[in-house]
Amino acid sequence: MKPIKIKKIGIAGAGTMGIGIAQVCAMAGYQVYLFDLKIEIVQKAEKQLSQSLDKLIQIGKLSEEGKQETLSLVKFTDCMDDLKVDLVIEAIVEKTEPKVELFSRLMEINGENCIYGTNTSSIPITQIAAKLKFPELLVGIHFFNPAQIMKLVEIIKGAKTHSIIVEQAYNFVKHLKKQPVIAADAPGFIVNRVARLYYVESLKLLEEGVATIETVDAIMESSGFKMGPFRLMDLIGIDTNYSVTESQYNLFNQEARFRPSRIQKQKVEAGLHGRKTKEGFYKYE
């Protein structure tokens, strides 16, 4: 297999994570196509990206010229056929079947001349790849929220992922000025396996009435964590966090230490997903 020269990048999914990844790629000089099925989400993403760049201008990390240059490199689209690219990264719902359906369509568009990256937090790469035409071209490229700020990116090799694809994904992330780490295709990879207990144990404290949300967050933040578990779940999205917990719980054969919380489930069912819905464990203006 010959390396694929990466010039054009497609991002499938224009939510918070997709916008962040698009920003990072455009600021590194890549031509970016940010796609979502719903035009209203695409339009909202364009505004949010502009606002994110404005924040960098306010703190002196970007000029107005730099903002315009970055925006000029991003095409916002609701047409999947626009994702005729060299590397495509999906950042959609954390469920296997939608990811398989998306990559199957993307492989029809791009064939073997593309690297297919999944931003999955917990679903095994091998499980997704098993149903695809080119499993050797699928690799995990897992950014952390917010993608434009967090330095770490996990690179995950599936059972059939070609070593050249893994190497290219690693070098691509380095070019973004991020810190790539190679992770095995194990449940939760590295970070989510460790972090899951940060959330689950905090939720157990709340369930058992040991401490309040505010107390747990204050203790963890005073211990050196930048964000307490409840503030962090609100930022990530309680629905996303719950999906990852469910996935990891099942992948570990329902080990009790990974059991999803009923409190978290209730928040999801009520549509209280955190910052993106203006209310989660906390309320937001």
* 192 part of the active site: yes
**CA 246 vs CA 101, 129, 196, 253, 279: distances in Å:** 21, 21, 10, 11, 22
Preceding amide of 146 cis, omega within 30: yes
Q: Write the DSSP string, 55-104.
A: HHHHTTSS-HHHHHHHHHTEEEES-GGG--SSEEEE---S-HHHHHHHHH
Q: What DSSP designation does 108 have?
A: H
**Annotated catalytic residue within 52, 119, 121, 247:** 121
* 154 part of the active site: yes
* 121 part of the active site: yes
**Annotated catalytic residue within 90, 94, 136, 154:** 154
* 104 part of the active site: no
**Annotated catalytic residue within 142, 241, 243, 273:** 142
Cβ atoms of 139 and 158 closer than 8 Å:
yes
State the SS3 of 123-148: CCHHHHHCCCCCHHHEEEEEECCCCC
| Short-list 258, 146, 278, 267, CA closest to 213 | 267
Cβ atoms of 140 and 156 closer than 8 Å:
yes
Please list the active-site residues.
Answer: 121, 142, 154, 192
